[in-house]
Structure formats: C-alpha cells, structure tokens
Structure 1
C-alpha cells in the first residue's frame, strides 16, 4: 500500500508556479501580479486588471487603449447563440445558462480545437468580452425582455450594467461594478481555477476548460456562497433579531454564511474594500437595512469567531452590492464568473508557458487485492 502522505482537499499541495496571485492568509493580504488588491480596486479598471492577469504587467496608456478596443470589438454574441438562449428554460439557474452558452460558443467556433498560444490568447479575450454579454442577455430574457446589444462607447463595467438593466449607469454605479469585478477577478488556485487548468491540461479546447470552471464555480461551497449570505439576511429579518438568531445558530452548530475562508485566517482584504463601498451605496440607495444587519452579524459573530481565525470573506458584502446594482439573488454567482473569467484564462495561458503537463494525481488504495473471482451463476 502507498506510504505517501495524503493531503485532504489537496491542502498545501504545490503543483506549479505562478506569478499571478499572492495570498497571505495569516495577515489578510492579497496581490495580483505584485500589486495590492486595495490599490487595484481604488485606482484601476477591470480592463487594466485583465491585462495585468494576461500579460503580467500593468498596461501603458497605449496598451490599455488597444486592449480595451479589442475587448469591445469581441462583445457581441453570435446570432445562433442568442437564438439558442431564447429557448433556455426560464427557470434554469443563470449559471446553468452560462455553462451551456460557453459550451455552445465552442461549437460555433470553427477554430475551436486550436490550442496554439496565439489562438488561446485570442479566445481568452473573446471569452472575457462575451461573459458579460451572456449574463446580461440571460437576465433580460428571464425578465421577458429582449437582450440589449453592447455599446462600444462604454467601459466593460458600464456596458455590463447597461446591457443588464437597460439604462446607462452613473459614474458611481460603474465604479462600484468595476471594484466588484476587480475583487473577484483572481484568487490563486481555488476550486474553479484548478478545475479549469486540470481540464485544459488534457489539451482540450479552452471552451471546454472554461465550461468546467463555470461548473465548479456554481457550487455553493465556492461561487454560490454570496447567495447564501442574502438568504441569511432574509432569515434574520431585522437588526434586533441578530442576537437571538445567532444564539440559535451557535446552539445548533450552524455556520454564519460569508464568514470563514479556506485560506484567510484574518480579515479578507476584499471584504474590507467591499464593506467601504457597500456602506456608501447603502446610505445613498436606501438599502441600509441589509447593510445594518450584516454589520451587526459581523460585530456579534466576530466576538465568537474572530479568536478562531474566522472573519468575513468577500461574499459577506458582495451580495448587498450586487443587489444595489439591480441584480437578483440568482445573478450573484454569474457576476462572479464575469470577473473570474480573466483569472481562469490568465492561469491557463500561464500554465501553458510554465508546465503544460497533464495533471494526474494519485490516491492511496484502501481496497483488497487478489480476491478469488466467482462466476456470476455462483454468486
């Protein structure tokens, strides 16, 4: 039998190198390509961060202009895909719709199986551009409305909001969406990123690899956690009910949704950025009730869980932000995907340069050996 050490959940296992993301879970620090997430969220746009994740450096003004123009030119969906999306079941989860749409994009690409570095880069740009269009179109169709064509004069964040809600967003709304997308764009070798790389390591097409990533993100232990936070707020109902609700939760050994993280044993820096913006928007948009409930949960639950290294993560405040931007609960995880597509494609491109090996982990065999075979009629 194997004498190798088992790393449950692949905890602490290193399988490659990466210059894209550094996470210090003990100190609550996060960097993209060497830059603090707080600085990127405050001063950059999603286009700049996507360039950083794909190229390894922040763009010059000329590079950013060319990159943004390229993304803009790739936003529109094939007419055949839009027709298919009209036939998706109205009650299907938007993540299921996204998963199916990405797969169909592959079938509609005559060059689908080209995995050359040049083709992978072009397809990565196309996917980054189209994810927002797919999610926005699905939102409109579920509301019984026609999809809105992308506008070339709007930024990625502003265009996503425009296609989703049918009106041009304010500068404040655009900034809020930019911040949300930047914070969710990358986070090391999380489940969905690892799934996408594992799929791509077989040299399947990038659409299949990204479809695998979308499927992984759909799970409530990963991307679906922000939905759970909003459901938790609904269960609590009011600030006054936080205390009794928490006492019952602790007594029944339940979990506070949006608190705790596999990596962070300190305050998630992304949650700190979002909390600032959530407080501003809550006050201006009149959604202070949800924000006030979360702050009271954070205060009361923190007294119990902070000493154990359990703090709010990025999902704790993201749902309130998405709601203020006009999205219903079921679209919180698709927005996550609209951001994370930059990280997924960036990691696939990086992996092809660094290793490009087929991933093949092992398991410790615990069954029996050399059992006598008994013919079917004698069993």
Structure 2
C-alpha cells in the first residue's frame, strides 16, 4: 500500500482556520488515493477507473484487488486472490458456537457485527495487514449465510471452491447453484458499493485504525456506522415505502401526501451528489432486466417523485440514490429485506479494509477539535450548599 493518507494539522487554540459545521460538511479530514466522489458531476472513481466501466466489466475480486493494491490484477494475481478467498471461507468453532446461540430474531446486521468481533478475538493480532483484509472480506458472506440458514432452522453449507465471491454467497444462502443472471446482478452490486470516499462508516473505521487498534475492531466500528438508516440501512426502507404505496395508481397521491406532511422519501437525496448518483444509474438498468414488474412500479414512483419534488420544492436537487434500486435488485436475487444492509457490508468491507491499510501506512491519530458552546466561569458551590 502506498502511503497516500496525511492528516491535516489540528488547529491551535483560538484558531479560526476551519469553523465548525454540522456533520463536518465541507471539511476535508484526510487525503486518499482509493476513491473519489464528484458530487457536482455525478462521477465515482476507484483508483482512477470510472465506476461505470468497472461495474460492467469486472468481478468483485478484481475490484477488491484494485482497492487494496492500487491496480487491477493480471490473470495470475487474480487466480491467487481467488484461491486465497477460497482458503479463508471458514468459520472457527468458537464463532460457530456464538452464531448458533444467537436468537432467531436477531437482526442479520447484529449477527454480522457479533461474528466479526468474535472472529477478531480468536484470529487477529497486531497491525492490520493485507492478509487480514482478505481473510475478513472472504468471511463476510460466510458469516451472513451461516446465520441466515441457522435462523431458518437449516444446516449451514460449506462454500464451493469453484464458485466466485458473489456466486458462493448466493449458494450458501439457498443451497442451489445460482443462475448466471443472479450472479451477474449481485456481482455488479458488490462492485458498485465497494467504496465511496470518506463516508460515515469508512471514516469511523479510519478513526479506530488511527488509534493503532486492530483491523477487526475498526471493521466492527464501521459495521455499527453502516447499520444506521441515514447511511446504509435505507434499502429495506425503500422496499417498505414501495409496499406501502401499493400500486402505480396510488403513487401520485401517496407521494404528494408524504412530501406535504414532511415524510421522508426513502432512496431520494444524497449528502454529496447534487445530480444523479452514478451507482443508481447502473442499478436502475440492472433492476429493469432482473424484475420487470417490480421495476415498473419503482420507476413510476421515481419519475413522479422527482417531478413532484421539483414542483413543491423548487431548487432542491434531489435524485434517487444508490439505495433506491438496490432494494429492487437484491430482492430479485432472493434476499429478504433485513439482508439488504448486511449485503451492503459484504461489498463495502473491501473498501473499509483498503482505507484501514491506507490509514496505518502513514498514520496520525485522528483527533479533531470541537467548538465549545457551553457556559464559562461558573461559580462552584459545595454539595451541602446546593439547593
């Protein structure tokens, strides 16, 4: 990994170099060579490559290699990475015992967080390494598929060495060799969401890594951040919204009522993109092919919502984001709603670990300032004199 991350100097007491903003909006906290999000033009770049080219032409394994090593692999390097992935698709007995003990009602995102933490406790020592990043990334689908089958009263399945990352995930969930169409759709989804600049979960992981903690702790923290509905927890809520709308005929009245009453439209708007999210563009076309009936409903809602938003909130640049069509695509490959965000994590772990490795390659503790807004110079009153 090239040392491409450098921390900005902390402001000195009394400095006004950077004023506090809600959510750190507009504040540059680090430099990175991993990915670039161009919000005004709607572009996403991984290590110099446009996301559209990668989503249409590469496997998730190739993109993970790109994020970790800074370049696309040749045939031999890709073969070696796939072999390493296959070798790492195991669950230690201690972790399996914990997964078996979790109640069936446990949310899959919580099960994933627990499994990663337990695996880190028995398998991880020392400074984060590329081998640890590969081991974690290979195991995410195994942890999730194992829990999914356990909570349904089914026996967990052993991964198949001949299947790739996306195909193995679907096989371990269902017990059936997935169709090429489903593998292609899930693979493209995994490529599209593998990294996205300094988002909340990536920043969280980098903060933990900057303290010289281990890679499992940093990834567990990132999982916790991704779980929130303002970050990665929205795809299932998009599905809930479309289900509540119910039909194309009901869409316009539902959307108008939602907007006028202040209800949030799930899957619309993005903190960075002021135009169409490029990932949503790719997912829209994949959803069109994967499930034409569901796509018709989703597309109608999208078009109506954008028109009504422009009418009722002129000047607001709100477009569908990656989560909107993620819901349709993941449902089309057989995933239940509560598996959407964990599957997001299956993709994003490659980006998280790439950022963690970049952070430790040229580390400086991430320790920003806070602008104090509380009282000053209060007179201290002993306990016995307080009323």
Q: Is the 8 A contact 1:2 1:364 kept in 2?
A: no
Q: Distance in 2 between matches of 1:146 and 1:202?
A: 40
Q: Which residue is 2:126 aligned to?
A: 114
**Number of the residue aligned with 1:198:** 207
Equivalent of 1:301 in 291, 305, 314? 305
- Give me the whole-angstrom Cα distance separating, in 1, the residues matched to 2:285 and 2:337: 21
Per-residue Cα deviation, 1:321-341 (whole angstroms, up to 9, x for no partner): 111111111000000000000
1:304 shift after superposition: 3.2
| The one of 168, 176, 187 aligned to 1:159 | 168
User: Which residue does the alignment assign to 2:280?
Assistant: 271
Asked whether 1:225 is paired with 2:226, we answer: no
Aligned-partner SS, 1:125: helix
Match of 1:177 in 2: 186
2:145 to 132, 136, 145: 136
The answer for the alignment partner of 1:27 in structure 2 is 41
Aligned-pair distance for 1:25?
0.8
Aligned mate of 2:96, from 65, 71, 82: 82
Correspondence for 1:378: 385
1:30 is paired with a residue whose SS is strand
SS of 2:37's partner is: strand
Q: CA deviation at 1:138?
A: 1.1
The counterpart of 2:31, out of the listed 9, 12, 17, is: 17
Deviation at 1:7?
2.2
Residue 45 of structure 2: SS of its match in structure 1? strand
User: Aligned partners of 1:108, 1:302: CA distance in 2, in Å?
Assistant: 49
Q: Give yes or no for the alignment of 1:47 onto 2:61.
A: yes
**What is the Cα deviation at residue 85 of structure 1?**
0.2
- Matched position secondary structure for 2:291: helix
CA contact (8 A) 1:305 1:311 kept: no
Deviation at 1:2, TM superposition (A): 4.7
TM-score if structure 1 supplies the norm length? 0.95
Instruction: Answer yes or no: is 1:213 the counterpart of 2:225.
Output: no
Question: Which position in structure 2 is the counterpart of 1:242?
Answer: 251
Shift of 1:377: 1.2
> Which of 345, 360, 364 does residue 367 from structure 2 map onto?
360
* Alignment partner, residue 65 of structure 1: 79
Q: Check whether the contact 2:212–2:360 (CA below 8 A) recurs between aligned residues.
A: no
Distance in 1 of aligned mates of 2:366 and 2:125:
19
Q: Confirm or deny: 8 A CA contact 2:209 2:359 kept in the other structure.
A: no
SS at match of 2:271: coil
Q: Distance in 1 between matches of 2:14 and 2:106?
A: 44
**5+ residue gaps, structure 2:** 1-12
CA distance in 1, matches of 2:34, 2:117: 26
Q: Tell me, yes or no, if structure 1 residue 341 matches structure 2 residue 353.
A: no
Contact 2:86 2:161 in 1 (8 A): yes
Deviations 1:331-371 (A, max 9, x none): 00000000000000001111222x31111111111222332
Matched, 1:316 2:324: yes
Give the structure-2-normalised TM-score. Answer: 0.93
Deviates more, 1:157-166 or 1:4-13: 4-13
SS in 1 for 2:129: helix
1:308: Cα distance to partner?
A: 2.1
* Other structure's SS at 1:308 match: coil
**Which deviations, in whole Å up to 9, do the C-alpha atoms of 1:261-316 show, x marking residues without a partner?**
00101111101101111010113xxxx1x322211111111113365211111101
C-alpha deviation, 1:207, in angstroms: 0.7
Q: How many residues align?
A: 368
Indicate the residue corresponding to 1:36 in structure 2.
50
Q: Which moved more, 1:5-14 or 1:257-266?
A: 5-14
